Structure 1
Amino acid sequence: KWFHIWQILREQKLGVLIIGEAHLDDSYKENIDTLFKRAMRLEFTPDEEAPTARAGLAFVLNRNTVEADDITTKVVVPGRAMLLKMKNVDGKNLSILGVYAPNRPYQNANFWKEIERWCRAHPRDKPDIIGGDTNFVEDAMDRLP
């Protein structure tokens, strides 16, 4: 899948890609870094209980389109949300909150409350952009197969 991700980054000229259901641990990251060290940078937050089996969120940065070495990340909700700080093409600061929200309505609501609490506790880290899988649907019927 990582060769396909690199192909998407390259062909679409994307700078940053947010991946939910990343299923990564340090060993996987090390292998990916070895293969794609010059092409892309990977930052991730794993699911705490089963890192390679469920959840997990990753940012993939295209080294050809963004300054991937001048970034910082902060885990907001382990395995579910992470803040990426970088410079945009104009050299201005840009912060992106990547999310992979839970499916179940109760867990989803609690997730967004946790995000809100974190943002209030870290006002300097307010995201400019939120992206990823929010698992919001307008109608419960939209979840039916």
Structure 2
Amino acid sequence: MKGRFHKGDNKWLYINQQMRDDCLAILALQETYLNATQATSLNDTFTDMLHVITSIDPNHPTAKGIVIALNKHLVKTCEVKTHDIIPGRALLITMPWYQQEELNILNMYAPNDPSTYDERTVMTPSDNQCFWEMIHNKIINLPQPDVMLGDFNIVEDSIDRIPAHLDHANAVSALRALKSHLNSQDGWHQTNPSDLTFTYSQSTRQGGLTSKIDSMFAHFGMIPFCKEWSIDPPTIHTDHEMVSVWGISTPY
């Protein structure tokens, strides 16, 4: 998201409109720089439409930050429970869903490390690797996420980057261990096994790299009930695409 404003325009006006027009029930955002006071202000401004839940790193309030925005027209917001797992980096919510069921959503903004490595170099744990290991350890005694999504700042396969290259092997292993623990699968890849689509593009000035570092994983029991996986440009100014899915239910 890269903050609330672009050239003086408040991005939350466009977020509110897109959630209303496209009937988005839940929207997970990263790099939001939104503190609790600002979130309260947004909830007061969009009181009939949005319920905004924020997580910010108090030591770095103008960096990082994640938000889960709920559409009051489509979901209940009065009984939502939150777990601020890593402030500004990982936020878990439990919310009422279909009938008497609950839905657990984990929104994450993983650290960005240098992604290539030389096997001759002594390997030390990267910030990205430590992030996945910390999440794995902290969620053991929490509601297990049905959906985990966000900006992972890592890809599991070299084909998901242009130019193609491997990411830090230990970080990839840590992410896969978390996915295995949660029985999570990438529904978009399952639905589009032969498609090559990217979610992040650098400008030519930045180097022109592209990658699929934004992902959404769902519990394997939910995958058959998730329809219309898509990667599309959002309405706000950003260098990331939006991953979306319709019709999540939890029958398992």
Common fold by TM > 0.5? yes
Q: CA offsets, 1:76-134, max 9 Å, x none?
A: 111100111012133311101111111115111110000000122x1x51111101111
SS at match of 1:135: coil
Amino acid at match of 1:110: C
Counterpart for residue 133 of structure 1: 151
Tell whether the 8 Å contact from 2:111 to 2:128 is kept in structure 1 after alignment.
yes
For residues 50 and 115 of structure 1, the distance between their equivalents in structure 2, rounded to whole angstroms, comes to: 20
Structure 1 segment 103-118 matched on structure 2, within 5 A: 103-104=112-113, 106-118=126-138
Matched, 1:63 2:72: yes
Aligned length: 142
SS at match of 1:48: coil
Aligned-residue CA RMSD in angstroms? Answer: 1.7
Within the candidate set 30, 34, 37, 2:47 is matched to 37
Bigger Cα displacement from structure 2, 86-95 vs 109-118: 86-95
Matched, 1:90 2:99: yes
| Identical positions, percent | 28
The structure where helix makes up a greater share of residues is 1
Q: CA offsets, 1:21-72, max 9 Å, x none?
A: 0101122112212211121101111022121x21001110000000011211
Give, in angstroms, the shift of residue 2 of structure 1. Answer: 0.7
Q: Which ranges of 4 or more aligned residues in structure 1 deviate by more than 4 Å? A: none
TM-score of the superposed pair, with normalisation by structure 1: 0.89
Matched, 1:8 2:18: yes
Counterpart for residue 26 of structure 1: 36
TM-score of the superposed pair, with normalisation by structure 2: 0.53
| Structure with more contact order per residue of length (Cα contacts < 8 Å, sep ≥ 6) | 1
Q: Which has the larger radius of gyration?
A: 2
Amino acid at match of 2:143: D
Counterpart for residue 181 of structure 2: none
Structure 1 segment 64-83 matched on structure 2, within 5 A: 64-83=73-92
For residues 57 and 32 of structure 2, the distance between their equivalents in structure 1, rounded to whole angstroms, comes to: 9
Tell whether the 8 Å contact from 1:66 to 1:89 is kept in structure 2 after alignment.
no
Give unpaired runs (5+ residues) of structure 1: none
SS at match of 2:14: helix
Tell whether the 8 Å contact from 2:36 to 2:54 is kept in structure 1 after alignment.
no
Give, in angstroms, the shift of residue 3 of structure 1. Answer: 0.9
